[in-house]
Structure 1
């Protein structure tokens, strides 16, 4: 199982001291919203659902804190459009 690490502004996965996957965010809307800026996954991990797992990790965190998510990153925008039943209630509406 993948264990993502968290520090201010990102969730990430390291292997041998190298970041091999990460999702970056900024807290906006007076601390009520995560604006997801980017998801980057090492080519060796592509096609294994790592980006989706990163997204699901930050979504779970936002839900636990009663926050919303503003999808800025193209991957996240696409996921929110493709799976409205999963993400619609958490999407930030400006």
Structure 2
């Protein structure tokens, strides 16, 4: 996992080539994850899980909180129980409205 803060994303590389990303926007002390994508040719290898785990660990280390708008990030959090429960905030209508405005 490689953080790319200037582009508000984390990438995962295979052979030095980026093959996936999870994208976020920071909102105060929250890191709002809104999209995760692995290139089709690299699917089924567990790369998305490794990518998201690294991104969440980096988010924890930075003192930020997680808001899992991205369905994959949400499922990852459900699957891994309380590992990140102490730093996860719910997806609220306010967050979704804010995200819509930022992405427009």
Deviates more, 1:81-90 or 1:45-54: 81-90
Q: What per-residue deviation string (whole Å, max 9, x for no partner) do you get for residues 33-71 of structure 1?
A: 110011100112111111111111111111112211000
Gaps (5+ residues) in structure 1?
A: none
Aligned residues: CA RMSD: 2.2
Equivalent pair of 2:30/2:67 in contact (CA under 8 Å): yes
Judged with a 3 Å threshold, the aligned counterparts in structure 2 of structure 1 residues 82 and 5 are, in CA distance, closer, same or farther, namely closer
Corresponding residue to 1:42 among 19, 39, 48: 39
Equivalent pair of 2:34/2:68 in contact (CA under 8 Å): yes
User: Which position in structure 2 is the counterpart of 1:25?
Assistant: 24
User: Which position in structure 1 is the counterpart of 2:5?
Assistant: 7
TM-score of the aligned structures, taking structure 2 as reference length = 0.73
Greater share of helix residues, 1 or 2? 2
TM-score of the aligned structures, taking structure 1 as reference length = 0.79
Judged with a 3 Å threshold, the aligned counterparts in structure 2 of structure 1 residues 21 and 65 are, in CA distance, closer, same or farther, namely same
Gaps (5+ residues) in structure 2?
A: 93-104
Judged with a 3 Å threshold, the aligned counterparts in structure 2 of structure 1 residues 82 and 17 are, in CA distance, closer, same or farther, namely closer
